[in-house]
Structure 1
């Protein structure tokens, strides 16, 4: 990535999520605990899916991919924030900021697309069960995951390269706890309104389209579910789909709130709070929502413990 611009003479300074003090120390401890629990929950879920042959299905394979993304996603922000808080040094090099921005966009975009593909999996399983082995073959699943990673990587590379060749001639203080494009734009000393339209377009494609696909899929799923004669099958289908919809809604609504608003409507304090939900809370909730409300996963846990 290009770091040759003359405005890159000094490091950036991340103001962080909170300052020092007894209350903020407790908040910091809570964030660290969330980070550790999120890592543990996702590792256990991946381990269960790998070990239990009953979970070797497209749905759980996609879920294991989502857990892998979540572990990397939360690791992009929290460790740096923890180091800054403990060392009382909030600087981040330009290269470090570029890498963090790039990785965060890649992982966030991949998560958004994977959640969309997972809704398609549930749609096919419930609405077209006889065609499920064909429509959700191993080749199809691999294509979905590859598509998510590739498209997100290209999108992230384009945005990161563009932003970091802009002239940062204002304060080097980033009013955030990690390097994120909306928090970097206020430091640019030229008009970025046209570029903000590009961010909006990317947000609509990477975030809104999968979310709309999820809503459309589950609208069809609910129609089929309520026509089922089996109460047990209806309950299982609603439980599985509601878990996915809960996680997806939290992730998409918060990210859309950040990436589809004009720069003039952004508030640093508001952006930090919203970012906590999609950068920290969602990776924590994913493994627990999918496991605690899923009889197959809980059954796998019981079999391994016996």
Structure 2
């Protein structure tokens, strides 16, 4: 393991470059795109949290895990996007050494957390066990377990990188700070630490994926043996939609993380950044629609809210009658 030498580690801050081939005339456009993405993601997921908090009828195991996923998505986008927006709006892509390490930890933490939450969501939806096993207390305990355990592997990686020497280059060719972007800046040979971080990432991502696939198989087999035609169609539609999101979340990650280990698997910096942003930011953007707005209970509640608001708002005719009566 590297030993930190104060005379050797001269880097006090790192600077995000973003897309290296992006021309300055497109900086504002890209910044506005990220801003729109951030606001839409936060508002969509925050809406679910608010609905859950205000409607006691939604305080069920299924919605507890949905809210957990929404909070995780809000956390990830809040950690990842503001600095890249600042980079393109005000040419301010710098972060202090320890702030950079904190962002690296949180980026990997929320990635690990989402993986564990998706696993919990799939396991909890198994038809035969859900009514008897998944209570509010059980789901709350599982959710808290996910939020705590997700710190383990990112924490080990962060500690390792904190102890590494950075003696020269500090420009990060990425949209945010993570292990992949920091490794090339280490003085010396970081292969051992990177391999450990890679193994941890693969474990926290693909062990849950294996259980998710197994859970899907069990769900499909159970539905085929229990449900009627309409029920099967609805279940398969839900599984297909969720499967697409899970595929977007897991498959591109494998190619990005595996690039350093396969010489024939090459990606340009711009393609690597675009792929990372796609699998990192697209699922949080559409999760509220996939997991929430397709749920009848939530759609009904939102309709009642809108209808109630319209009923409360006085029409122009009512306002005229009120004024007339007060004058009379």
| TM-score computed with the length of structure 2 as normaliser | 0.84
Structure 2: any 5+ residue segments left out of the alignment?
A: 308-328
Distance 1:8 1:76, change over 3 A: farther
2:44 corresponds to which of 27, 41, 55: 41
Distance 1:297 1:17, change over 3 A: farther
Matched, 1:296 2:297: yes
- In the TM superposition, what is the alpha-carbon distance from 1:98 to its structure 2 partner? 0.9
User: Given that residues 66 and 111 in structure 1 are in contact (C-alpha distance below 8 angstroms), is that contact kept between their aligned partners in structure 2?
Assistant: yes
Q: Which moved more, 1:79-88 or 1:69-78?
A: 79-88
- In the TM superposition, what is the alpha-carbon distance from 1:5 to its structure 2 partner? 4.2
- In the TM superposition, what is the alpha-carbon distance from 1:233 to its structure 2 partner? 2.3
Aligned to 1:77: 80
User: Given that residues 239 and 293 in structure 1 are in contact (C-alpha distance below 8 angstroms), is that contact kept between their aligned partners in structure 2?
Assistant: no
Query: 1:80-91 maps to which residues of 2 (within 5 A)?
Result: 80-91=83-94
Instruction: Report the Cα distance in structure 1 between the residues aligned to 2:60 and 2:4, rounded to whole angstroms.
Output: 44
Aligned to 1:276: 277
Aligned to 1:241: 239
Instruction: Report the Cα distance in structure 2 between the residues aligned to 1:8 and 1:281, rounded to whole angstroms.
Output: 37
Q: Which moved more, 1:258-267 or 1:272-281?
A: 258-267
Distance 1:51 1:242, change over 3 A: farther
2:121 corresponds to which of 113, 118, 123: 118
Distance 1:106 1:223, change over 3 A: same
Instruction: Report the Cα distance in structure 1 between the residues aligned to 2:6 and 2:215, rounded to whole angstroms.
Output: 46
Aligned to 1:14: 16
Instruction: Report the Cα distance in structure 1 between the residues aligned to 2:236 and 2:55, rounded to whole angstroms.
Output: 24
Say which one has the larger Rg. Answer: 2
Deviations 1:4-25 (A, max 9, x none): 7441443211102464534343
Structure 1: any 5+ residue segments left out of the alignment?
A: none
SS of structure 2 residue aligned to 1:169: coil
Aligned to 1:64: 67
User: Given that residues 199 and 259 in structure 1 are in contact (C-alpha distance below 8 angstroms), is that contact kept between their aligned partners in structure 2?
Assistant: no
- In the TM superposition, what is the alpha-carbon distance from 1:221 to its structure 2 partner? 1.0
Instruction: Report the Cα distance in structure 2 between the residues aligned to 1:134 and 1:226, rounded to whole angstroms.
Output: 21
1:54 corresponds to which of 29, 41, 57: 57
Distance 1:194 1:226, change over 3 A: same
Instruction: Report the Cα distance in structure 2 between the residues aligned to 1:3 and 1:296, rounded to whole angstroms.
Output: 55
Instruction: Report the Cα distance in structure 1 between the residues aligned to 2:205 and 2:6, rounded to whole angstroms.
Output: 31
Distance 1:66 1:121, change over 3 A: same
**Number of equivalent positions:** 300
- In the TM superposition, what is the alpha-carbon distance from 1:97 to its structure 2 partner? 0.4
User: Given that residues 251 and 282 in structure 1 are in contact (C-alpha distance below 8 angstroms), is that contact kept between their aligned partners in structure 2?
Assistant: yes
Query: 1:159-174 maps to which residues of 2 (within 5 A)?
Result: 159-174=157-172
User: Given that residues 11 and 94 in structure 1 are in contact (C-alpha distance below 8 angstroms), is that contact kept between their aligned partners in structure 2?
Assistant: yes
Aligned to 2:188: 190
2:209 corresponds to which of 211, 231, 235: 211
Instruction: Report the Cα distance in structure 2 between the residues aligned to 1:160 and 1:209, rounded to whole angstroms.
Output: 21
Aligned to 2:154: 156
Cα RMSD of the aligned pairs, angstroms, is 2.2
Distance 1:5 1:117, change over 3 A: farther
Deviations 1:41-89 (A, max 9, x none): 0011112222233322211110001000100100111111112222212
SS of structure 1 residue aligned to 2:175: coil
